[in-house]
Structure 1
Amino acid sequence: ALALALNIYSTVRFTVYDRPDVSQPIVTLKGAISTVSETNNQGNLIYKMLSGLCQSDPELLRRVRITVSSDIPLGCGLGSSGAAIAGAVWASYVLRGLVPTRRDVLTVGMRMEGYPENVAASLMGNMIVCGRSRDDNTIVSEQLDWPDKWRMIVVVPRYTLTTAEARKVLPKMVKFEDAVANIQRTALVVAAVAKSDESLMRSVLIDRLHEPYREQLVPELDALRRVLSTQPIIGCVLSGGGSAVLVIVNQRHRFEVLQEITTWAEVQPQPPAILDLNVDKEGMKEL
């Protein structure tokens, strides 16, 4: 699987008191995340994970208070849960006096998330290629250096999609030729990134396994492809399962493409948010 780390962040602070302080909420939400209705789910997810990982020391857990400040939009395929999981797993080690490795965090995070790529991108930064090892018990991951001149414009609709909703529209079986086509193109995407080959990247960003089915849930994908059909973009794809749409563009064309997207967005009944982003190449930091 492939994943890309973008420079939009969550900060999770864990404070350990000498004794339980019932006057302090267990989870406090700050920043843009605090204004969104799904934030309670985010806070609950972090606390639930920490509870499971620290169940051998319930006294420690009672003394911990969590503050989450995040600008990652929720429920739109931008990896907010992966970032939360990475932070919670890392903290569970540190709070118990252990020194975590990225492999430790990735393995534990994969068991919680079910698939490793979002956690891996949050941990390591850059573009990540990852999957299960031959024994199926550990995760193998490699980091690719994303081309510096390839920028990301992310269009975030005002509605959200749950993972269950995004998966519900997918067929239980796919055509053999569609599966082969996607495998081939995935390999070519890796080659295009490794070689910074815009022409190759532009020609292989065509999906046959999930976007044809999810377009009905995210009409902005087709609309943006039509609007940008004459623009010098590298690609226009769903971010994860949606609802966000990711437009890849060379830095030299960024302004004109951003203007075209902004003009389109302004006349929509519910104008989407537009994020002008880079790829984060460092990954998670302990502050």
Structure 2
Amino acid sequence: MSDWNEFRIVLAIGRAGSLAGAAKDLGHDHSTIFRWLNALEKRRGVQLFDRTTHPYVPTEAGLQMVLAAERLEAEILAVDRAITGQDARLSGKLRITSSETLAYRILNEVLAGFRRAHEGIELELLVDNRQLDLLRREADIAIRATRPREGELFGRKIASTPWTFYGSRRYLADRGCPSDLAALSDHAVIGWDSGAVAAASKWLTDNISPHAFAYRSSSLINQLMAVKAGLGLALLPCYLGDLEPDIERVQDPLDELTRELWLITHKDLRHTARVRAFFDHVGGGLLARRALLEAECGGHSTMAG
């Protein structure tokens, strides 16, 4: 098998467990992936996936091809990073991934300053609460609330970001302020959708009565807007809630939900000129806003006592 595209198709199906997932990953439609897989199996005279299961399970031949594809991908990405890491031009594209709350509240202002200083660099911002894989070049740089664990990654800590509950003045005037965390279960609480894996979502599931949830959303920005509309109380990062004039903190920040904000890239890319410029300018811009990120400004509060 000399065609890398054959390996990419099989690898994408193996990772996604479905044709639809592979189609999304590869940027094609379901019918195209279906046609390619049928043609590949016919050409090789072997079945690569058991299609009667969900998710799809590779056959023995399919598993061999998936494992080979993973090795090929790792080699290709390593060469790509090595070449990109030697790029001394302050031009080209940078793919950055960030959470929606950071993008909404802080990041665009910092990126605007970066663009004024480096007009030759094109920025592509992937707003995603998932952790995109920097090892697979799903992004060049990540700004995420997680310390990098993989040895291949290089990071710079920006701040520690606390979270707490917020409510609108209208809601608090009608329902009062919860006296402590236990009292939150007697209020209308805004939560995450059932498929969420965020630490805040898990904390809410573990600590708040399921009967208290009045509204759920997969978007923290939507949860913020729901708080402003008076739908209930929501657990939000303080840098998001503190600057809203019509909502207030109802509890002290929760120590167990404080997160570290990091600027991260792959070690092979850290000396690329545009990546280095991004770390210097955007990293500096975020550090200049550390007081906001760490909620040192306090914020409006109606906490009891």
**What is the TM-score of this pair, normalised by structure 1?**
0.25
TM-score (norm 2): 0.24
